[in-house]
Each structure stands twice: as structure tokens, then as C-alpha cells.
Structure 1
Amino acid sequence: MGYGFSLDDVAYLRSDAGCAALSALADLPLTPESRLADVAAARRVAPDHFAAVLETLLLRRKAMSKVDFADGLFTDEALQQATAAEVARHRAARFAGRVVHDVTCSIGADLAALPEGSLGSDLDPVRLAMARHNLGPDKVLLRADALRPVSRGTAVLADPARRDSAGRRTWRPEDFAPPLDELAAAYRGRDLAVKCAPGVDFAVAPWADEVELVSLDGQVREACLWTGGLATPGVSRRATVLRSGAPAWTITDAEPDDCPVTPPGEWLVDPDGAVVRAGLVRHYAARFGLAQLDERIAYLTGPEPPPGVRAFRVVEHGHYTEKALRSVLRAHDVGRLEILVRGLDVDPNALRRRLKPSGSAEATVALTRVGRRPVYLLTHAERT
């Protein structure tokens, strides 16, 4: 769970002495092998706060690819839950022109992206002190319980903690802090957005008018439950795909979902995880003229893949058995093998060890089922 910061630690880290210590120790290796030497160096520079300094240096390195606070203060748990900057900016765009109250602001990662004039609150005084450092003196920050509203007339953003009292990750919404249903009840009649883990069962939040799944660079990062005026009329499910250095795109259940089921064509397409998690595979297929291999499986096929995705040109396909696949790999001289699986109980790593591919070519094999029949598709991955 990481080091337990105190308010005294935060005050020191924000002081001139603390900033000097962080600067003096910034180049420490901070590896398991260097731990004893790192601790000794930190004790010499900051004898009363060496653990807080070392933890802050380590967390700043982890934060570099996630949040925009170059010299931020964090706890390990808060940083793990903090929204990636690109995702936070995307979500904040839906609040454009609104004043927003972030009722679980923690260290301020979401609040930093919200429109000017927005405010934050949290019960944890240490995280609030860190947020004050991260956001500057002009941001309104309050110590308050998210279930006891202290603002009026604002939109509301909440990001409940998803760990139990022992620090274990929990997927049960009633175990969130605060629980989902209690949040919804506390802000009934207010425009509310709640950030959740993408694996949560959305059926437990019938009060949500729109569920948005968001991925970044191929990894599904979050679900956001939108209510009231923040939701899009006529849309109950949305998938948004963010790519570093490329335009974002989105798809919703308001679009057509007519797509056929056909045998494998020239290309195999594995839709982005946000599309799959949002239940919008058929809508995605209809948009790009694709078909399903099986109506219960997310793999798609067609004569041409969507632009800008990693798609798979089909070399051959057939009934899957290990013996048959081993023969196919040998015939195509495959040695470097990526294995994708949907709809079959197959461990790709264990299968690769058993197959022992030894050729000079590279390939991707997709294992799935059509009806009850297990099939393989030998492919070459390409960026379209």
C-alpha cells in the first residue's frame, strides 16, 4: 500500500528544505539493489523525513507518464487510482461551460482538467494538502464527506475508491468508498458523473443514463456513468477510443447494428476493448462494413479493415486442434508466434510452450469458435 504520509510529511515536502532535499536526491537509482545506499543518502539529507522523500521521488517517476504534475505530491494508492491526463481531459470536455464539484478530489488529478472555477473536496486531509500543492493556491478545496453535499448548482464528479479496508481491489459497487448507490441518492436531481473501473457490472447502476467506456492506446482505462444533463439524449452506451498523437473517436448504441455472420474473409479485426466492453461490437461492424464470425464472439471479418487499427490479414483458417495448428505453423515456417484467444479455454503462453514454434517467420494465430466448432485463423498483423 506504500508509505503512509502524514500532514507533517506534506508540510515538509512543500517547504524550502523539503524541495531542496527532493532536488538533491532526484538522481538516486531507487532500485531494489540500491535500496540500502538510497536510504543512507536520504537519511543524511532529510533525517526526519527520509522515507517520505524517497517515496515521493519514486512516485514522481511513476507519475511522469500519467499525470501533468511534474513536481507533484502523491500517495501510492492515490496515484494508482488517478486518471491518466488524456482521459481526464477527455472527460472534462463534457463539462465545458459548467462549474463542477469534484467530491472525491484526492490529489487533484481530475480537478486539474475541469473547467475554471471548479472546486474539490475530500475527507482525507493528507490528500487535500497534496492537492493544494499540486493545484496551486487559487483552487477552492474543502474537507467534506462526498455523501453530505456542500455545494449547490454545480455538476458533480465522483471517483469512489475501489479497495476494501485491507487494501485489496474490490469490484462490488456496494464496497466502493463511497458506495455507488449512496452517491446516486446523495446527488439525486443533480447532474452527476461517476468514474468506475471498466470491469464493474453496469446493471447495478440503473440510475445511470449513459455508460461510457474509455480506452487509451489500446487499454481500457475506465467507465464513466453519466446522468441528467451530462448524458447524451438517446444514448445509453458509448465507447470512446483515445490514441496518443491521433484523433479520438467514439461510437454509441444510437447507431445501426445490422451486420451479418459470415465465414472468415480477407481480414480479421479485433475491436478495441472499449467497444467490446460497451457491447457495441455489432455497431462497430455496421459502421465499417464488417461481419461477425459468430454472433457471440467479438472477432470481426471483412474485405477491408477500419483505418488506423492493427488488423490481421488472414493467411488460412480451419478446424483447431493442437496437432493441426502445429502442422500449419511448420508448413509456414513460423517461429515468432502471437496467440490471440476468444471464446475458448486456452492459455496462450502454455500453448506456445507446447507448440515450440521454431521457424524464421512471424505470425499471429487467432483461436476462437464458430458455433461449437473450435477454429484457428493464421494471420499477419498489419497497421492499416
Structure 2
Amino acid sequence: MTYQFTPADVAYLRTATEALAEVDRLPLTGASYLADVATARERLGERAGAMLETVLLRRKAVAKLDDPARWLLTGTALQQATPVPVARLRARRLAGRDVHDVTCSVGVDLAALAATAHRCVGSDLDPVRLAMARHNVPAATLVRADARHPVTRGTAVFADPGRRDAAGRRRWQASDFLPPLDELAAAYAGRDLAVKCAPGMDFGRLPPGEVELVSLDGQVREACLWTGSLATEGVRRRATVLRADSPEWTVTEAEPDECPVREVGEWLVDPDGAVVRAGLVRQYAARHGLWQLDERIAYLTGDAAPPGIRAFRVLEDGHYSEKTLRQRLRRRAVGRLEILVRGLDVDPNTLRPKLKLRGPNEATVVLTRVGRTPMAYVCEAVPSLP
């Protein structure tokens, strides 16, 4: 069970710079943890729990925050926090506006919004998270308020409702959000509203607006519903791809989607997960001169691989069966194999030992179907192209 911070803890942590640095010098590894906890309790007494939890959370936050050593966090808040590159992407769309983050928590999104907004207000019901946000985002105005009861007028509104229950399980229905999405939409009717949503939810059940799927370094991180003037006219779906090794790009349903279905070309392309989840595979294919193997399968193919995407150079292909695949791999002396499956009921972990892999070479096999025919594409995996 994670440590439960109190307002008194937060007040102490805001000024305990030296004590936090002392705790941060402890290894806090699996092997040393019990001894380190004993050391912290001996030196810090009743404050040890809050200090230890803060240091551990800051270490975990490295994957999400640029400067985690200055942040105060709770475990639940960090779990739901938006990675900084994604938060900044969203903040650009709200730049120059008066913005109210009505579920500001400890302030990760609020910090990005405050950097671009004309004026920025944050509010939350949890007094501990609100106190942490005051430390983390001193540039914002902060008030304690229920997101379902507006305390500002004329601002654009951003909300990141809770999407986990008390046991930590994900909530997939908009009606199960905390607060529920329909209550947020009703409370801010007529206002420009942006709501962070789970990327795996049914977008057909969302209020009218533009749904943007965002991936970061190959992982789909979030969906955001944009309404009112924040939504792009004529666009209901958008996919935006952020990568550290290539420029940001986006694709929308307003783009051409002419995409033929043909036999495999020189390359197989697995579109970014945000493109697939947004239902924009055809638009992405049309942009890059690719085509589909099957209109119901998201794999694309072509004679050239798009930049900024992992692609597979096709070495050979044919009807899939365990026997024929085993023969192909043996002929190529493949001892290390990546198995990708889409559209077939095949478990890679069950299949792998049956293939009896031997040899010095490595390959990727893509198992999918074309029509009703199961197919295997033996490929050379190529890292993301510049």
C-alpha cells in the first residue's frame, strides 16, 4: 500500500530540500530497502514515510517529467499523469487562451498549460494534491472546487477525470469516469472543453467533437476529446505521433483515403498505434503511397517505407502453416525470431518452441490473413527510418 500524504506532510516537504537530498542518497534497491528504511526512520522519525515515498516517486517520474527532483507527487497522481511531451502538445492548442484545468491534481498538465496560456486556473477537490500543485506550479491560480460546479466563466476548460476504481482497475466507460463525462459536458455546456480519455474506450459514445489519439515513442498514451472551437472543423478523428528521433506528424480523417488492396510489395509497414486506434490506416496509406494486403487488416505494404516508422523488408511470403514456416526458417538458419500476429488465432509463445529454431541468423515473421487465407511473411526488421 502506498503512503497516504497529509497536508502537514506537504507543508514539510515544500521546505525539506536538504532532508530529501539525504534520503535520495540511499540506494533504495530491493537488496538494501529494509536497511535504508531503518536508516531513514532513525534520522527523520515520523517524517521518514513521506520522505521515502517522495524520493521513490521522483525516481519513477523520470519517464514522465523533465525535472522530477522538484516535484511533489502522490502515487495515484503520477500513475495518471500525462508525459510532458504530450502535455505540451495539448497546451499548444490552448495557447493564448484563458484556461481552467478543473481536475488539476498535482499539476502536471497545469504546468504545461501555464506556460502557453494567457491566464491559467487550476482546481481540485483533494486538498493534498492541491497543496502539491501550489508547490509544483506557482505561476497558476489555484482554488479548491468540484469539477462539476464551474467556478470560472469565459475560460476554455480542460479535464482529466479519474479512470481507475478504488482497486486500481481501469474504467473504460465514459459514464464511469470520476467525474463522469456526461456530467462534465453538462456542467460546461457552451464552453470550449477538452477532456483526456482512455485510448481504449469506445469513441462512438463520446459527445460530438474531435478525438485525437496521441502516441509517444511508439506507445499510444492517450485520447483527447476536443469540443467547441477547440475542435478542427470537418475533423472527427486525428492521430498525432511524437517521437524523440523524428519530427512530430499528424493525420486526420479529412485527408484522402484512396487505398487499393494488392499483393505484398517490398516492404510491410505496421502503422503507428495512434493511426490504427483512430481508424486512419487508409489515410496514412494514401499519404505515403502504400496499399493494404486486406481491407480489414491494419498491415500496409509498398515499395518504399515511410520515415519515422518501423518497417519490415519482405524476404519471402506464402501460405502459413507451422510445417511450412518451420521449413522456411530452417532454410534461412534463423535462430532468433520475432513473431508478430494480427488477424489470426496464434499465440507466439506457444508457436515459438514448435518452430525448433536453430542457426546464427535472425528474422521477423508477420502472421496475418488475406481474405480467409492465413499468410506468413518472413522479413528483415529495419529500425525506424529517419
- Taking structure 1 as the reference length, the TM-score comes to 0.97
Amino acid corresponding to residue 369 of structure 1 in structure 2:
R
* Deviation, structure 1 residue 108: 0.4
| Partners of 2:340 and 2:364 within 8 A in 1 | yes
Shift of residue 23 of structure 1?
Answer: 0.9
The offset of 1:156, in angstroms, is 0.3
- Determine helix, strand or coil for the equivalent of 2:164: coil
Q: Is the 8 A contact 1:344 1:369 kept in 2?
A: yes
1:94 aligned partner: 93
Structure 2 counterpart of 1:219: 219
Whether 1:306 and 2:306 are equivalent positions in the alignment is yes
Query: Distance in 2 between the 1:364 and 1:196 partners?
Result: 34
Does the Cα contact within 8 Å between 2:125 and 2:145 map onto a contact in 1?
yes
Instruction: Indicate the residue corresponding to 1:294 in structure 2.
Output: 294
CA distance in 2, matches of 1:288, 1:244: 21
SS at match of 2:108: coil
Distance in 2, Cα, partners of 1:315 & 1:300: 16
Q: Match of 2:131?
A: 129
In structure 1, C-alpha distance between the alignment counterparts of 2:61 and 2:98, rounded to whole Å: 27
Q: Residue 363 of structure 2 corresponds to which residue in structure 1?
A: 363
CA contact (8 A) 1:21 1:45 kept: no
In the alignment, the residues of structure 1 paired with residue 305 and residue 245 of structure 2 have an alpha-carbon distance, to the nearest angstrom, of 21
Amino acid at match of 2:154: G
| Deviation of the 1:245 alpha carbon | 4.1
Structure 2 residue identity aligned to 1:121: S
Distance 1:166 1:224 in 2: 25
* Counterpart AA for 1:216: L
Counterpart residue type for residue 38 of structure 1: D
Whole-Å separation in 1 of the counterparts to 2:25 and 2:323: 53
Read off the aligned partner of 2:44 and give its amino acid letter.
A
Give the drift of 1:165: 2.7
Check conservation: 1:69, 1:134, Cα contact below 8 A.
no
More moved, 48-57 vs 275-284 = 48-57
1:253 has 2:253 as partner = yes
Using the alignment, how far apart are the partners of 1:72 and 1:154 within structure 2? 27
Do 1:214 and 1:240's aligned partners in 2 also have CA atoms closer than 8 Å? yes
SS where residue 2 of structure 1 aligns? coil
- Once the two structures are superposed, what CA deviation does each residue of 1:338-368 show, in whole Å capped at 9, x if it has no partner? 1111111222222223323121111110000
Is 1:107 the counterpart of 2:106? The answer is: yes
- Residues 363, 379 of structure 1: 8 Å contact kept: yes
SS in 2 for 1:60: helix
Matched letter for residue 94 of structure 1: R
- 1:270 is matched with 270
Q: Which amino acid aligns with 1:381?
A: A
Structure 2: distance between partners of 1:331 and 1:132: 64
Tell me if structure 2 keeps the 8 A contact 1:104–1:159. Answer: yes
In structure 2, how many angstroms separate the alpha carbons of the residues matched to 1:306 and 1:44? 58
- Deviation, 1:67, is 1.4
Which amino acid letter does the alignment assign opposite residue 134 of structure 2? R
The equivalent of 1:146 in structure 2 is: 147
Take 1:97 and 1:13, find their aligned partners in 2: how far apart are those partners? 33
Give the 3-state SS of the residue equivalent to 2:122 in structure 1.
Answer: strand
Choose 252-261 or 69-78, whichever is displaced more.
69-78
SS of equivalent to 1:251: strand
Tell which deviates more after alignment, 166-175 or 156-165.
Answer: 166-175
Mapped to 2, the partners of 1:246 and 1:328 lie a distance apart of 35
Q: Secondary structure at the match of 2:186?
A: helix
Q: Deviation digits for residues 128-180 of structure 1, max 9, x if unmatched?
A: 111111112x4201110000000001000000111113332221221110111
* 3-state secondary structure, aligned to 2:287: helix
1:201 maps to 2:202 = yes
Unaligned runs of 5+ in 1: none
RMSD: 1.2
User: In the superposition, relative to structure 1, how do residues 245 and 376 fare at CA in structure 2: closer, same or farther (>3 Å)?
Assistant: closer
**Match status 1:45 vs 2:43:** yes
